[in-house]
């Protein structure tokens, strides 16, 4: 309570009510934005933990690639749709990657080189819908796995190297 009183010290008496409402909505606005982000982080960590504890590998096929704009800031992502099979059941999923300076050479004319290609997917044997496709160095490093030589071709397509 002392901290709030200290903050109110420089505010004129006639403006204190407005200041209090501004503080109230500012704090609740932050909480309402932070809670979903915190939930998504915790869920992602739990999913990754379950994948690591019950890991198995399959081969995923890229079915489709498209551009996706996320958030109000219109941040550009590239979305890779893929399918894999586990114990006779087919699963479909997608993975978004931010379109950053290293990804700018992966233009739409190169998408055809990736569609229909196969990449490893790590998944939970207990809940096979929890998965992560492994396409880039960073994907493999998240699971402390080495980047395979069989995917060296992808560096030229994605990074123009």
Q: How confident is the model at residue 147 (pLDDT cuts 50, 70, 90)?
A: very high
pLDDT tens per residue across span 69-120:
887 778 888 999 999 999 999 999 999 988 876 677 888 888 999 999 999 9
pLDDT at 9: 65
Structure token digits, residue 149:
């030589």
Residues 80 and 152 in one domain: yes
Task: State the total domains in the chain.
Answer: 2
Q: How confident is the model at residue 50 (pLDDT cuts 50, 70, 90)?
A: confident
- Domain extent, residue 109, equals 55-159
Residues 59 and 81 in one domain: yes
Cβ count near 89 (within 10 Å):
9
**Nearest CA-CA partner of 97 in 140, 67, 141, 59:** 67
Half-sphere exposure of 38 (CA within 13 A, CB side): 6
Residues 143 and 110 in one domain: yes
**Left if phi > 0, otherwise alpha if psi is -120 to 50, otherwise beta: which for 26?**
alpha
pLDDT at 44: 63
Residues 111 and 134 in one domain: yes
- Residue 47 clears pLDDT 90, i.e. is over it: no
Residues 59 and 40 in one domain: no
Residues 75 and 101 in one domain: yes
Residues 35 and 101 in one domain: no
pLDDT tens per residue across span 53-66:
888 999 999 999 99
Sheet holding 75-86, edge to edge: 89-98, 75-86, 55-70, 118-124, 131-133
Residues 88 and 135 in one domain: yes
Residues 67 and 86 in one domain: yes
Sign of the torsion formed by the C-alpha atoms of 63, 106, 154 and 77: negative
Residues 31 and 101 in one domain: no
Give the contacts of 83 (CB within 8 A, at least 6 positions apart): 60, 61, 63, 90, 91, 92, 93
């Amino acid at each position: 309570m002392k901290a709030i009183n200290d903050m109110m010290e420089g505010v004129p008496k006639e403006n204190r009510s407005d200041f209090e409402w501004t503080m109230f909505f500012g704090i609740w606005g932050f909480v309402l934005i932070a809670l979903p982000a915190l939930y998504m982080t915790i869920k992602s960590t739990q999913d990754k933990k379950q994948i690591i504890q019950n890991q198995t590998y399959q081969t995923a096929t890229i079915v489709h690639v498209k551009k996706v704009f996320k958030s109000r800031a219109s941040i550009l992502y590239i979305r890779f749709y893929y399918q894999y099979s586990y114990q006779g059941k087919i699963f479909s999923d997608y993975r978004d990657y931010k379109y950053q300076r290293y990804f700018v050479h992966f233009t739409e004319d190169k998408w055809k080189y990736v569609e229909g290609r196969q990449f490893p997917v790590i998944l939970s044997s207990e809940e096979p819908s929890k998965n992560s496709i492994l396409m880039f160095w960073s994907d493999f490093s998240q699971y402390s796995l080495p980047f395979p030589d069989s995917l060296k071709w992808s560096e030229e397509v994605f990074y123009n190297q």
